[in-house]
Amino acid sequence: MKAGWYEKNGEARDVLVVGDMETPKPAAGEVLVRLKASGVNPSDVKSRRGRPLIAPRIIPHSDGAGIVEAVGDGVDAGRIGERVWTWNGQWKRPFGTAAEYIALPSAQAVRLPGSIDFDAGACMGIPGLTALHAVKLHGDVSGKTLLVTGAAAAVGHYAVQMAKAAGARVIGTASPARRDHALSAGCDAVIDYRSENVAARVKELTGGKGADGIIDMDFSSTAALLPGGVLAQHGKFVCYGSNVAGDVSVAFPALLWGSLSLQFFVVYELTAQERAARLRELGEMLEAGILKHTIGATYGLDEIVAAHEAVEAGKVTGNVVLRTG
C-alpha cells in the first residue's frame, strides 16, 4: 500500500516521506479499512514535530474514513463492505490513517451513514467528538449562554452547532475574516478577539452576568479573561487545548469568589463510558443530518507535506483532509 510516514521528529518537509509499505492484516478483533480520507488535525502536526516516536516508523493521523475490506477472527464478517469512520487511529499505535489501509480494533471503526461523505467522516474522530464532549460536560445547556472560543475553527464550528441544537445561546470569538463562518454555525454574536475586550463584550451581551459556560481551545489566553468577569457565578470553564505547552497562570480570587469550575480533557482519553455515550450521540446527529461539515482544503496522499504545512499555517477555514484512495 501507499503511505506517508516519518522516522524522526521535525518539520514536515524535512521528515515526511511517501512510499510503499506492506498492507496490514487485521488481527483478532480488528478490521481492515480501505481508507478514502484522512483528517489532518493540529495534534497530528504537533506529534510529528515533537512527540517521542513509539516505533521506528510512524504513519500519522488518527482520523479517517473508508470501507471495511476484511475482518480478523472474532469480528462479524457482515462488517465487510461497511462504510466507517475511525477514531484514535494513531493514538498509542504507530500506524495511523495517512495511508491506503489501516488495521485497527473493530470498535474504532464506526458506521458512517450513507448520507455523509468520506471527507466529513474523516473529521469526526477529533473535531466531532471533542466538540460534542465539550458541550456535554456542561450538562443541560438549554437556555444557558456559552462562550465558544475559536468558533470558526474545526472543533469550535461543530461545538457551536451542537450547543445550539441543545438549546443554548452561543457567543463565539473569531477573527473578522472568519466572522461569517462562525455565524453560519449558529453563533448569536461573534466577538473579534483581536480588537475587542472579550470579557467586557461578553458581560455586555449578558446584561453584566457573564457566560454560564466556556468551551475553550486556548487556555493560555482565555484564562486571563476570568478576572474580568467573563464567567457568571458558578460558571464552568471546559478546555481542550492551549497554545502554550507549559504552565499557565490562573487568578485564584476569580475562581474562589466566582465559585467557578475548571475541567480539562483530551479526546484521546475519554473513559469507556464517555466514549460510548459520545459515539451514540454523534451517530444520532449524523443520521439526522443536523451538522454542517466544512472541508477547507483537500490534498492527495502525495501532498501530505503541503497538508501539514496548511494546518500549521492556520489559514484554512474548515478541516484539512487527505484523499487517500
What's the pLDDT score for residue 69?
98
CATH code: domain of residue 239: 3.90.180.10
Question: DSSP letter string over 11-68?
Answer: -HHHH-EEEE-PPP---TTEEEEEEEEEEE-HHHHHHHHHSPPSSSSBB--SEEEEEE
One-letter amino acid at 117 equals: D
Based on the fold, state whether residues 119 and 148 are members of the same structural domain: no
Based on the fold, state whether residues 26 and 104 are members of the same structural domain: yes
What's the pLDDT score for residue 234?
98
CB contact set of 105 (below 8 Å; sequence gap of 6+): 29, 30, 31
Buried b (16+ CB within 10 A) or exposed e, 261-296: eeeebebbebeeebbeebbebbbebbeeeebebbbe
Assign 184 to helix, strand or coil: helix
Based on the fold, state whether residues 193 and 79 are members of the same structural domain: no
Per-residue pLDDT band for 245 (boundaries 50, 70, 90) equals confident
Residue 69 lies in a domain: yes
Based on the fold, state whether residues 167 and 101 are members of the same structural domain: no
Residue 285 lies in a domain: no
Residue corresponding to grid cell 465559585: 259
Domain that holds residue 20: 2-123+293-323
The pLDDT tens digits for 257-282 are 999 999 999 999 999 999 999 999 99
Residue 275 lies in a domain: no
Average pLDDT over residues 218-246: 96
Residue 226 lies in a domain: yes
The pLDDT tens digits for 177-231 are 999 999 999 999 999 999 999 999 999 999 999 999 999 999 999 999 999 999 9
What's the pLDDT score for residue 130?
98
Q: What is the DSSP letter of 156?
A: H
* 211 to 93, 204, 205: CA distances (angstroms): 39, 10, 9
Instruction: State residue 262 phi and psi, 5-degree precision.
Output: -115, 135
Based on the fold, state whether residues 162 and 212 are members of the same structural domain: yes
What's the pLDDT score for residue 219?
97
- Please give the Cα distance from 125 to 105 (Å, whole number): 14
The pLDDT tens digits for 46-71 are 999 999 999 999 999 999 999 999 99
The pLDDT tens digits for 158-178 are 999 999 999 999 999 999 999
Average pLDDT over residues 96-108: 98
Cell triple for 182: 462562525
Name residue 170's beta-bridge partners: 146
Based on the fold, state whether residues 107 and 180 are members of the same structural domain: no
Q: How open is the CA angle 251-197-216, to the nearest 5 degrees?
A: 60
Give the distance, in angstroms, between the CA of residue 272 and the centroid of all CA atoms in the same chain. Answer: 18
Residue 286 lies in a domain: no
